[in-house]
A and B are shown apart, each in its own frame.
Chain A
Amino acid sequence: MAKNVKPRVKVPKSAKPGDVITLKTLISHPMESGQRKDADGNIIPREIINRFVVDFAGQNVVDVTMEPAISTNPYFEFEVKVDQAGEFTFTWYDDDGSVYEEKQSIEVA
């Protein structure tokens, strides 16, 4: 099981109605690809985050299916249109069944 998994998200505190804002997310995770070998030549089993979903005020923003080619500590940057205040939910799904969730609200006025 992946240790010290820590999600980080960067969301502006406020925006104007109709603004398109840029969000950045990073989650610390080894993203073990299943291709590497240990010192004894045994393949290190795959252990990755395989899905990342962002919703805003109940509507989907992006839904990313991730393969082992996504780098260690997966980073994503994308844009969201905000018409009203609401809460972002960021969800990462791990191969081992773990789910990591982060929430952040934005004020729109």
Chain B
Amino acid sequence: AATLAGPVLAQDAAPAAAQTPTKSVEEWIAEFTGGSEVQEGGVTLTAPEIAENGNTVPISVSAENAAEILVLATGNPTPGVATIKFGPAAGARQLATRIRLAETQDVMAIAKLEDGSFRQAKSNVKVTIGGCGG
């Protein structure tokens, strides 16, 4: 289904098509946490077990006392999904949206809590039809 990885881009690597280098999952996490330890639990990631259509997969993230939540799709060609910052008027540290998943993979949420600690949760989503196709 999804043939979006590096080799395809490399073949037609005209300078005009040059893309910004893709940040890896590890780089996203390191940038977000500044290298701090990330503990399991304390953040809830709700995603379907099976997504028939990877173009629009409903997900929801929440974490009590979260200042920020980073969402990553670890199996996408570019793993970044969203970074959510909560302001003083937020009624709950919670957000639902719809995302694209290229293939079956783990979706990941990392929360930065107000006390400066980091929490994470993962959820595996089986994707029937990939959502980055071209």
Contact = CB atoms under 8 A, between A and B. Distances in A.
Contacts of A42: 12, 17
A65 interface: yes
B50 interface: no
A59 interface: yes
A99 to B, nearest CB: 18
A92 to B, nearest CB: 13
Nearest to B84: A64
Interface string A76-99: 111111100000000000000000
Contact of B76 (A34, A69, A78): A69
B81 A70 contact: yes
A5 interface: no
Contact of B87 (A63, A65, A68, A77): A63
Interface residues of B, number: 39
Interface residues of A, number: 37
Nearest to B76: A69
Contact of A79 (B81, B87, B90, B97): B90
Contact of B100 (A60, A69, A80): A69
Given A35-B4, A70-B98, A77-B96, A61 B89 contact: yes
Interface in B71-124: 73, 76-92, 94-101
Interface string B11-54: 01000010100000000000000000000000000000000000
Nearest to B58: A75
Closest 7 CB pairs of A and B: A60-B87, A79-B91, A36-B134, A20-B91, A67-B80, A37-B134, A77-B96
Interface of B: 4, 9, 12, 17, 19, 55-57, 60, 73, 76-92, 94-101, 131-134
18 contacts: A20-B91, A33-B132, A34-B19, A37-B134, A59-B88, A64-B82, A65-B83, A67-B78, A69-B73, A69-B78, A69-B80, A70-B100, A71-B55, A71-B100, A78-B91, A78-B94, A79-B91, A81-B90
